Each structure stands twice: as C-alpha cells, then as structure tokens.
C-alpha cells in the first residue's frame, strides 16, 4: 500500500481500440489510443476476517507525518478546500465500529476523528472541523439523503438534481459540482455574502434557462402530423383575432408609439407566416427599446404576467416569485395584460401537450430588435389582476417561472385544466415550498456574523467542497445509484476501496472497481456483464447508442484483448491476502425439515401452479391485465417463482395472519375458487364481445379465428373433460353458436377499415384463448389441491380411490398416487406408466389430455395425515421456524446467535415468531445511528443474544461479530449467479469465523425436504466444489 501511494508510482495506461474487418480477405485492422494516468491507491481485497480495517489504520498512521508535511507545502487547490484528513466512507451500521477500531489500534488521542452518522451530525459540523480532523468517518447513506442533495444543489445553484438515478442525474451532478467549485473559490476570496449573491443569481439564471427550454420546440413534426398541428395553430390564431384582438401593421419606430400609447397594452412582435401561431415575448419586462419606456410601464407589464411555475421545481422558482412581488408591486389599475385568450389558447396548449409541438422562438438574452415592415403587433385585451392570478394558480402544466430580470409571455405557457394538471400541481407545488423554507433557514449559516468574519465557520459543508488527502471506501460492492455517483466524484489524492469479496468474474465487474479509482477500462459492450447490468445499461441508452450497439460487433480478438487489459488492471491495483483462520474450529450442520400435511399441501399447491407456468412468472408492471393480476397474487411480494417457493418452505403464508396451516388451507381453497370464478366471468365477457364483433364483421371471405375457437371447443374440447363442460356452458350462455364452414374465398377484397377490424378481432381471440388456458389450469390446480387435502384427512374421512386404467376400486393410500399436473388419481403402477408415456392416467378414456412427467407423480402416502391436535389448534409459524426457535432455546445462555434471512417480508415473520415465543433479539435496521447502536450493543454482550440480519445486503458485511458463535441460515441463498452466492455466503460466515473468535463456531443450514430448498442448495454446492 505504501508503494501504491509513492510519488514515483507507475502510471496506468488507459487505452481504447477501434477495429475494422474485411471478411472476404480475412483482414483485420485496429486503431489504438492510449494515455497514462497516475493513480495513487488501489483495492485492498484481503479475505474476510483478515483485518482490512487494521491495515488501513496502519497505513494512515504510517503516512501521517508525511501527509501533514505535504499539506503544509501544498497550498491552495483550485475549486476545493484542501484538507489533510482521510475520508472513510462506511456502511451506516459500521460508523461506531470504525471509530472504536481507531481508538483500539492507534490510541485514544493519536488522531482527531470526526464521525458523521446522520445529516444532523453533518449540519452541526463546520469547515474548520473537517480541516483540523485527521480522520473523517461518514455513513454512506448520507449521500442519498434528500436533505444532503438539496443542500448541495442549493449551494451550487445550478438547477435541481433529478429525483431518479441514472445518466441524467450524473450529468446534472457534474454541472452542479462545476458550479460548486466556483462557489468554493468565491467563498475563500470574497466571503459568504458573495456566495449568497451568487446563489441568488444562479437561481435566476436557472429560471431563465428553464423558460427558454420550455419555449423551445421539443419535437420535430413531419408530414401529416406537422400539417395537422399547423392547421390547429392557424385556427387558434384566427379565433383569437375577432373582438378586441386586432392585428395592425407596425412601422420601424414602433417602440416610440408604444411608449406614448394612452392604454396599457402589451405589444408583441410576431412574424406573420402561414402555419405559425401568434406568439409574444418580452425580455426583462421591457419593449425593444426599454430606455424610452417609463418605469410605471415596466412595473405594469411585470405584474400583469402571472405564470404558474408548479411544473418547474428545478428552476428554484419560489425565490423568483417572492423577489418579483417585492420588486414589482401591483399598480392600482383594475386591468392587466393577458396572453391570447379563449379557445385559441386552450387548443394551442392541447397541441403542445399531445403533439409536443411549439413554435420556434429565439433563446437569446438580448432584447428583440425593432419591428420591421413585414412584422405586426397584436394588442392583447386586458383582464382584472385578480382573475389573472386565479387563472395562473389553477394551471399545472405551465412552462417556466418568471424572474425579476426577465418576464415573458407566450401562448405556450397558458395552463391546461384537467385532472392530470391538478394532480401534477398538487404534487409539485409542495416541493418548492419546502426548498423555500430550507433556504430561509440557511443551514450553512452563510448570513451569520461568524461566517462573514471567518468562512471556515460555515456549517453543513458537503463533502464535495473538500480535497482530501486520502479517500477510503469500505464494502464498496454494496454502493450503487446516487451514492455511487456522488462518492466516485469526491476529490482526493489517494483512493482506496476495501472488500473481502470483490467482483472479478468478468470485464464488466472490473469496470465497477475501476470507477472508484477514476479509471476508464473500456467502452461498454452488451455482450458483457450480468443480465441486470446489461438491462440497466440498455434502459439508459440513447437511440443513437442503441443503433451503434447493433452496428458495431466486436471480434473475438477484441474481447480477448479486453481480458488482457482487465488482468493488467488487477495485477497493478488489486491485492488479496489469505486469512489463515484454519485454527478456528467450526462445524457445518444440515437440519432437514419434513413439513406436516397441511404445510406440505400448501407448498405443493403453489409449486404445481408455478410449474404449470414453467417457473417463468415474474412480477408484472402496474398496467397489467386482470389475468396477470391473478397470476401475480400467487407471488405475493416475491419477484420470481423461485423466491415465492423459498418463502413458502419457511412459512406457509406470509401475506395473511392465519393462525395455522390447516386454516390457511381452507383460505386457499376459497381464494382459488374465487379466482376461478373471476376467470370464468372474464371469459364470458370476452366471448360475448367476440360474438358482437363477429356479427358486426359479417362475411369476410374465410372462417374467422373466433369461429374456429368456438368450433374446436364444441367438437374437440379443451383437453380436460371438466373444463370442457365449463367452456361449453359459457359458450351457450354467451350465445356463441358454431358457424357453418363455407368454402373459403381468398379473393375477397376488403377495405382498409374492415381489415383493421378483422385484425383486432383476431387479437382479441388470442386473449380469449389465453383466458381459456388459464381457466383450465385453475380447474386442475383446484382439483389437485382438493385431492391432496382429501388424502390428508384421517382414515375414516378419506374418499375411496379407484384407478381408471386398470379398473381397481378402493385402492389403499399406500398404493395410490396423484398427478400434480392435473390432479387425477390412480394406482401407483398405472399412474407411473402413464407418466412415463407423458400422459395422464385418464388419457385412454379421453377425459384428460394433460401432459404429465414422472416428476409430477406424488405418492399419496408421502402427503402425511392431518394432526388436528398439533396443526389445527393454536397459533403456529410453520415447522421450519418452530424448529429454529427450538434450536435457539436449546443453546447455552452464554452463546450468541446470528440468524440470516434473505427476504424482508420473511424477516418480519421471523421477528413476529421470536416475539411470540419471547426470544429477545436485535435487528440492523432504521437510521444509521440506530443500526450502529444495535450492532455495538450486540458486540458488547447485550441482553439480546440473537441478531437478525439480511444475508444479501450490507448489514451482513463488515461487522466484527466474534461474540457470536452460531450462524443460522433459514434457507439457501437465491442469487442471480454463483459469484454473488459465494460472496454473500462468505461475508455472512465471515462475521463469526475470523480473528478474535475464541469459541467453536456452528453454522446451521435449515432445508425443507423434497422442496426447492434442496434443489438450490445441491446446485450451488456442486458448483462450488467444481
């Protein structure tokens, strides 16, 4: 690490390659651009438990005097405040641990440490505190705090930062940081008052830019759309002419005549061109030669223009409204000037919102030139000021806010009334008001006497103000979104990132590391990276970039070279020491859980339902159909089928508060019956609409797909006898009779309108078929679940079992089997032989044509028998959770336990079970202060001896939890890749198995037998062994 921070460290060579291929000749040419980049720092990737914190503190201690000397001789850094401190960015739950480690390894008074856990801590911190500090420890989640971001954007005065992460946020952040650098220099050179003035000026500039952007044409229209938009605008202009709106020729000296006009009218310079609207524009509240205008005239114009700024939160418009009200008070006249009124305005506004069309206007800040002979002036009728205010406040989609130095009027800025507008106004109006209050409170205390005397007394300084001697990022792999954008842009001489499980499985993963060192490894390529990363990249691509991704296909040589570049990066910047912790004894134990009958039935019901969809069901969008909503109900809060099944292995029902599994079974039957009834109703409605469309279309020369559907359903059925009877009943109820098939005539010429109707009819028939398929699946699911519950009843209540294939009657449960694919029963021999032929046991009779597989065969005696005394009475949390609770209670009182759970909703159920069974526990949740406090309490032998952790997030990493000696994994980890699975599990086990552990460690894995638990665990275990 000392070598990486040396002044003579070797530079890293960034490079980019462009290639061209002449395939017929087998030639390939490449062009290469290179540049050396000097980077002090690297990646400390020592294994979990090796002591990365201690090594980092050793580096800080070793170089302390050298850095102090460098800082003294360095002088001022342009755009930043140079400080000698090392900035340590840590997960929020580790702030106290890092502070205690500093005291432990370096002594109590060796370094001055500033710990910033929350934004309130930062608000009370001054620039002087940061300058005098040796180590600054800050929680990473502060960088995504709305308060922090709002303070940053207000201080920079470069516009509001977007609410969502991504390229737009990064671009605006770069702009804000550029302005912030100028503010830092201004603060040091001119003082806090100059900074406040620049903030005010910056806000006004943002408002002006926002107005210019709103007035600019946002989309180019061509062909038919352009003609339609132009005609509507022309009609709007014509409707605005009658009555008091009149157009007159204007001589070149129009400003003089305007000044001497007895009436207070707004005179607007427009071009008279066909297809363009009459629009107006004033700059700075003046006419073209503003020197000739009296002051009274300007004040009247400024007050008359009342423009809603609700839709421009980024413009900082609240400030401008207050300033304008102070600077231009309303005159006593009862009338004021308004833009073109009436239907013309409304029509024009609709065009702008729907077609994104607006007239081209100049964005220049200079006053408009004097009118020429081919220009005209419009006198705008005046209206009462009160009405003007009311009208503008109702608007919700106005363009931009006015400023004290610039007033503009345009027909584009007239608000459009409507539900959407009101909603937008209600949402956006609140935010600027909050910003107004924040600025008035002046969190930086720039207006205070102390800061005016000494700028280092400024409070709540963003970290972007400083240039640190060193930047250390702990557990960087968990940083993403806005936090990643801000942290990678912090300025420092030396940069270090720490992680025991760095992602190095492909080139795209290496790029995530290089970003923290401000290195460019290479361009993005869609062929690299995990699917999630690629999807995110594609979402943010422009149309041109998407086109080039298809146009430019890289060769194998290009990719091979990229791997060489990646390896060179690892060789130069990444080091990993092996943690020699073999002497720490630890044992892994597998606890296999057998579900009771009711829980087994609930799991099998969901398993059958999801496997019928080939495990492809995913969480849909908000605009999903009723069918998709019904399918998504089976997922609950899960994002995938695998996640839903994993949760079902741990608890029988996360969504409701059923006391036990037997009651949950009754609820499931009612819910599935309701969903089936909903599906039938929707199918009936769709078929009735199809019958109407069919009658309306008449003869189109061939049998429609809808008639074909009716014919097939009536003659062949839908592959299930029970479902076929239901479908035929629905067809009868809808009046859908089979049409006689006539000789097809393909030569019938249809009008375009008829063709479109035929196509629409065809698409709707596809929806009907999907609904029919869903209904068949639901009938089979309900049949299967009902059969399973019947078989789980006590011996006296079980139904008699017969086999349709061999004809046996009253088959014992020990010799019976059920097909999970359709719910039909028979003897084991016949059911298995049918499944081997991929058909149902009822296939010979034609009652069921469901495709079956051997894995669909469920032996009846494996379903268990209801134990009413245990499972039917009282409150139960499922067999797996109760086994976990029993294990915890069996451990000695001096032993401490970590429980790792992957999903938040399952974690709530685990916490509920612990509370019910009176097991004290702690969770790493809440604010950064609460997280670090709970972690510290557990480390210091709190009365709670159980700590509940989410195995997939940062709470399961970084912490030193050697006080615990038991780790319980409630279920196997569901990870998108083997690398992520290994990394998360390594981090989790590494909380206990590390230096400082004095007890024997036990790692408990709870797996539910014959479920997805075993499938995932075995699959991952084989991959790790190979």
Q: Quote the pLDDT of residue 420.
A: 41
- How many structural domains are present in the chain? 2
Q: Are strands 966-969 and 946-950 parallel, antiparallel or unpaired?
A: unpaired
Residue 951 to residues 373, 898, 1019: CA-CA distances in angstroms? Answer: 76, 10, 19
Choosing from 408, 428, 448, the residue where a domain stops is 428
pLDDT over 70 (residue 281): no
Q: Quote the pLDDT of residue 82.
A: 93
Judge contact between 118 and 139, C-beta under 8 A. Answer: yes
Kindly report, residue by residue over 39-55, the tens digit of the pLDDT: 999 999 988 888 889 99
**DSSP H or E stretch at residue 858:** strand 857-859
Q: How far apart are CA 592 and CA 245, in angstroms?
A: 85
Residue with tokens 């839908």, as numbered in its chain: 718
> Would 349 be classed as within a structural domain?
yes
Judge contact between 693 and 747, C-beta under 8 A. Answer: no
Cβ neighbourhood burial of 307 (10 Å; 0-12, 13-18, 19+): buried
**DSSP H or E stretch at residue 105:** helix 95-106
> Would 920 be classed as within a structural domain?
yes
Kindly report, residue by residue over 770-796, the tens digit of the pLDDT: 999 889 988 988 888 888 888 887 666
Choosing from 428, 462, 489, the residue where a domain stops is 428
Residue with tokens 């390529």, as numbered in its chain: 525
Kindly report, residue by residue over 874-911, the tens digit of the pLDDT: 567 788 998 999 999 999 988 999 999 998 888 998 99
Q: Any residues with CB less than 8 A from the CB of 790 and at least 6 apart, and which?
A: 798, 799
Buried b (16+ CB within 10 A) or exposed e, 598-617: bbbbbbbbbbbbbbbeeeeb
Mean of pLDDT values over 639-662: 76
pLDDT over 90 (residue 822): no
pLDDT over 50 (residue 354): no
Judge contact between 137 and 90, C-beta under 8 A. Answer: yes
- Report the share of the chain in percent with pLDDT over 70: 73
Report the candidate in 246, 281, 480, 269 with the shortest Cα–Cα distance to residue 375: 269
CATH of the domain at 927: 3.40.50.300
Kindly report, residue by residue over 242-251, the tens digit of the pLDDT: 544 443 444 4
Per-residue DSSP letter, 270:
E
> Would 9 be classed as within a structural domain?
no
Q: How far is CA 798 from the centre of its chain?
A: 50
Per-residue DSSP letter, 680:
H
Choosing from 389, 410, 428, the residue where a domain stops is 428
Kindly report, residue by residue over 571-618, the tens digit of the pLDDT: 999 998 887 777 888 899 999 988 887 788 888 878 877 776 555 555
Judge contact between 769 and 709, C-beta under 8 A. Answer: yes
Cα angle 503, 507, 511 (rounded to 5 degrees) comes to 70
Q: How far is CA 39 from the centre of its chain?
A: 33
> Would 510 be classed as within a structural domain?
no
Q: How far apart are CA 322 and CA 404, in angstroms?
A: 9
Alpha carbon dihedral 495, 498, 504, 507, in 10-degree steps, equals: -20
Q: Quote the pLDDT of residue 963.
A: 87
Judge contact between 1012 and 645, C-beta under 8 A. Answer: yes
Kindly report, residue by residue over 220-236, the tens digit of the pLDDT: 777 877 888 888 888 87
Judge contact between 491 and 500, C-beta under 8 A. Answer: no
Judge contact between 857 and 832, C-beta under 8 A. Answer: yes
Judge contact between 824 and 776, C-beta under 8 A. Answer: no
- Residue 847: CB atoms within 10 Å: 18
> Would 743 be classed as within a structural domain?
no
> Would 136 be classed as within a structural domain?
no
Q: Quote the pLDDT of residue 135.
A: 95
> Would 551 be classed as within a structural domain?
no
Q: Are strands 897-901 and 946-950 parallel, antiparallel or unpaired?
A: parallel
Q: Any residues with CB less than 8 A from the CB of 130 and at least 6 apart, and which?
A: 81, 83, 85, 114, 136, 461, 466
Q: How far apart are CA 903 and CA 882, in angstroms?
A: 18
Q: How far apart are CA 792 and CA 785, in angstroms?
A: 11
Buried b (16+ CB within 10 A) or exposed e, 750-786: eeeeeeebbeebeeebebbbebbebbbbbbbbbbbbb
Stated length of the chain: 1026
pLDDT over 70 (residue 682): yes
Domain housing 983: 877-1025
Kindly report, residue by residue over 441-465, the tens digit of the pLDDT: 788 998 899 999 999 999 999 999 9
DSSP string, 699-753: --SS--HHHHHHHHHHHT-SSBHHHHHHHHHHHHHHT-PPPPPPPP-TT----HH
Kindly report, residue by residue over 952-985, the tens digit of the pLDDT: 887 777 788 888 999 999 999 998 888 888 888 8
Q: How far apart are CA 554 and CA 552, in angstroms?
A: 6
Report the candidate in 194, 276, 229, 630 with the shortest Cα–Cα distance to residue 446: 194
Q: Any residues with CB less than 8 A from the CB of 169 and at least 6 apart, and which?
A: 161, 162, 482, 485
Mean of pLDDT values over 177-203: 91
Kindly report, residue by residue over 476-504, the tens digit of the pLDDT: 888 888 999 999 999 999 999 999 888 88
Judge contact between 149 and 431, C-beta under 8 A. Answer: no
Per-residue DSSP letter, 218:
-
Judge contact between 928 and 93, C-beta under 8 A. Answer: yes
Q: How far is CA 314 from the centre of its chain?
A: 21
DSSP alpha helices (H): ranges in 792-875?
828-836, 868-871
pLDDT over 60 (residue 469): yes
Q: Quote the pLDDT of residue 435.
A: 45
Cα-Cα-Cα-Cα dihedral sign, residues 64, 65, 70, 73: positive
Residue 566 to residues 349, 527, 559, 574: CA-CA distances in angstroms? Answer: 54, 16, 11, 11
Cα angle 533, 535, 537 (rounded to 5 degrees) comes to 70
pTM of the model: 0.68
Q: Are strands 586-593 and 1001-1008 parallel, antiparallel or unpaired?
A: parallel
Q: How far apart are CA 589 and CA 959, in angstroms?
A: 23
Judge contact between 415 and 349, C-beta under 8 A. Answer: yes
Q: How far apart are CA 315 and CA 399, in angstroms?
A: 11
Judge contact between 922 and 945, C-beta under 8 A. Answer: no
> Would 307 be classed as within a structural domain?
yes
Q: Any residues with CB less than 8 A from the CB of 592 and at least 6 apart, and which?
A: 1007, 1008, 1009
Mean of pLDDT values over 313-330: 39
Q: How far apart are CA 127 and CA 114, in angstroms?
A: 12
- The tokens of 966 are what? 């038991």
858 compared with 298, residue with greater pLDDT: 858
- Report the share of the chain in percent with pLDDT over 90: 29
Report the candidate in 637, 530, 678 with the shortest Cα–Cα distance to residue 907: 637
Provide the edge-to-edge strand list for the sheet that holds 857-859. Answer: 825-827, 816-819, 857-859
Residue with tokens 């008001």, as numbered in its chain: 433
Residue 730 to residues 630, 727, 765, 780: CA-CA distances in angstroms? Answer: 20, 5, 15, 18
797 compared with 763, residue with greater pLDDT: 763
Q: How far is CA 677 from the centre of its chain?
A: 35
Q: Are strands 897-901 and 966-969 parallel, antiparallel or unpaired?
A: parallel
Q: How far apart are CA 369 and CA 288, in angstroms?
A: 6
Buried b (16+ CB within 10 A) or exposed e, 351-371: bbeebebbbebeeeeeebebb
């Amino acid at each position: 690490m000392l070598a990486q921070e040396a002044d003579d460290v070797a530079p890293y060579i960034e490079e980019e390659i462009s290639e061209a291929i002449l395939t017929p000749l087998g030639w390939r040419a490449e062009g290469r651009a290179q540049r050396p980049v000097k980077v002090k720092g690297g990646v400390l990737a020592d294994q979990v438990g090796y002591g990365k914190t201690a090594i980092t503190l050793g580096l800080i201690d070793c170089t302390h005097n050298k850095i102090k000397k460098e800082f003294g001789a360095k002088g001022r850094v342009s755009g930043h405040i140079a400080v000698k401190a090392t900035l340590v960015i840590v997960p929020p739950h580790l702030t106290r641990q890092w502070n205690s480690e500093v005291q432990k390894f370096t002594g109590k008074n060796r370094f001055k440490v500033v710990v910033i856990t929350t934004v309130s801590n930062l608000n009370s911190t001054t620039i002087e505190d940061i300058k005098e500090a040796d180590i600054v420890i800050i929680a990473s989640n502060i960088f995504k705090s709305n308060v922090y971001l709002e303070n940053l954007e207000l201080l920079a005065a470069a516009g509001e930062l977007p609410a969502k992460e991504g390229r737009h946020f990064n671009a605006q952040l770069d702009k804000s940081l550029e302005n912030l650098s100028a503010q830092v220099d201004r603060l040091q050179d001119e003082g806090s008052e100059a900074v406040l003035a620049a903030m005010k000026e910056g806000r006004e500039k943002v408002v002006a830019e926002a107005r210019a952007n709103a007035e600019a044409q946002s989309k180019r229209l061509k062909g038919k759309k352009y003609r339609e938009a132009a005609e509507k605008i022309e009609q709007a202009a014509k409707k605005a002419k009658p009555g008091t709106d009149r157009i007159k020729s204007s001589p070149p000296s129009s400003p003089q005549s305007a000044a001497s006009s007895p009436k207070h009218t707004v005179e607007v310079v427009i071009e008279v061109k066909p297809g363009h609207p009459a629009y107006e524009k004033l700059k700075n509240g003046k006419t073209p030669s503003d020197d000739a205008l009296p002051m009274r005239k300007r004040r009247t114009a400024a007050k008359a223009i009342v423009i809603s700024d609700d839709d421009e939160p980024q413009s900082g418009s609240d400030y401008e409204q207050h300033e304008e009200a102070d600077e231009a008070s309303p005159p006593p006249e009862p009338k004021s000037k308004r833009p073109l009124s009436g239907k013309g305005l409304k029509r024009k506004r609709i065009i702008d919102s729907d077609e994104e069309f607006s007239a081209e206007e100049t964005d220049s800040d200079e006053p408009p030139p004097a009118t020429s002979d081919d220009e005209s002036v419009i006198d705008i009728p005046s209206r009462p000021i009160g009405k003007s205010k009311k009208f503008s406040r109702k608007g919700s989609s106005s363009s931009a806010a006015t400023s004290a130095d610039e007033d503009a009027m345009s027909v584009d800025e007239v608000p459009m009334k409507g539900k959407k507008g009101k909603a937008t106004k209600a949402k956006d109006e609140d935010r600027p008001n909050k910003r107004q209050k924040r600025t008035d409170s002046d969190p930086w205390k720039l207006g205070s006497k102390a800061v005016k005397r000494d700028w280092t007394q400024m409070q709540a300084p963003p970290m972007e103000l400083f240039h640190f001697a060193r930047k250390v990022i702990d557990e960087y792999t968990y940083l993403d979104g806005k936090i990643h954008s801000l942290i990678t842009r912090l300025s420092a001489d030396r940069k270090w990132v720490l992680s025991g499980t760095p992602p190095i499985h492909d080139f795209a993963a290496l790029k995530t590391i290089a970003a923290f060192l401000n290195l460019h490894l290479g361009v993005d390529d869609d062929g690299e990276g995990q699917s999630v990363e690629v999807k995110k990249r594609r979402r943010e691509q422009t149309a041109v970039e998407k086109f080039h991704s298809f146009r430019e296909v890289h060769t194998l040589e290009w990719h091979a070279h990229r791997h060489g570049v990646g390896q060179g990066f690892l060789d130069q910047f990444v080091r990993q020491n092996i943690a020699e912790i073999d002497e720490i004894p630890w044992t892994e134990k597998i606890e296999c859980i057998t579900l009771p009958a009711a829980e087994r039935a609930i799991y099998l019901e969901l398993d059958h339902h999801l496997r019928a969809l080939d495990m492809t069901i995913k969480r849909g969008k908000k605009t999903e159909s009723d069918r998709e909503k019904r399918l998504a109900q089976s997922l609950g809060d899960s994002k995938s089928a695998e996640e839903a099944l994993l949760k079902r292995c741990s608890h029988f029902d996360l969504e409701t508060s059923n006391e036990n599994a037997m009651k949950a079974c009754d609820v499931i039957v009612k819910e599935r019956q309701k969903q089936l009834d909903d599906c039938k109703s929707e199918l009936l409605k769709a078929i009735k609409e199809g019958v109407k469309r069919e009658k309306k279309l008449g003869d189109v020369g061939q049998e429609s797909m809808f008639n074909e559907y009716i014919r097939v359903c009536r003659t062949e059925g839908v592959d299930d006898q029970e479902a076929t009877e239901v479908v035929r009943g629905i067809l009868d109820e809808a009046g859908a009779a089979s049409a006689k098939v006539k000789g097809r005539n393909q030569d019938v010429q249809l009008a375009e309108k008829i063709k479109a109707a035929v196509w629409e009819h065809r698409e709707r028939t596809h929806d009907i078929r999907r609904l029919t398929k869903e209904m068949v699946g639901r009938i089979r699911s309900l049949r299967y679940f009902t059969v399973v519950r019947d078989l789980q009843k006590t011996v006296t209540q079980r139904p008699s079992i017969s086999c349709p294939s061999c004809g046996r009657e009253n088959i014992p449960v020990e010799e019976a089997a059920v097909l999970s694919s359709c719910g039909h029963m028979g003897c084991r021999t016949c059911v298995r032989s049918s499944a081997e032929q991929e058909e149902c046991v009822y296939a010979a009779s034609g009652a069921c044509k469901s495709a079956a597989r051997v894995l669909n065969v469920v032996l009846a005696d494996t379903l268990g028998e209801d134990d009413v005394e245990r499972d039917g009475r009282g409150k139960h949390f499922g067999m797996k959770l109760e086994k976990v609770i029993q294990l915890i209670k069996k451990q000695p009182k001096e032993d401490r336990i970590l429980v790792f759970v992957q999903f938040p909703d399952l974690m709530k159920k685990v916490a509920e079970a612990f509370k019910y069974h009176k097991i004290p526990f702690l969770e790493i949740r809440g604010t950064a202060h609460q997280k670090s406090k709970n972690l510290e309490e557990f480390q210091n032998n709190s009365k709670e001896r159980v700590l509940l952790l989410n195995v997939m997030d940062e709470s399961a990493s970084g912490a030193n939890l050697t006080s615990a000696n038991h780790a319980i994994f409630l279920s196997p980890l569901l990870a998108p890749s083997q690398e992520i699975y290994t990394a998360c599990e390594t981090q989790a086990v590494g909380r206990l198995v590390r230096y400082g552990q004095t007890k024997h460690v036990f790692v408990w894995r709870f797996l539910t037998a014959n479920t997805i638990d075993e499938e995932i665990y075995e699959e991952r275990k084989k991959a790790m062994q190979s």
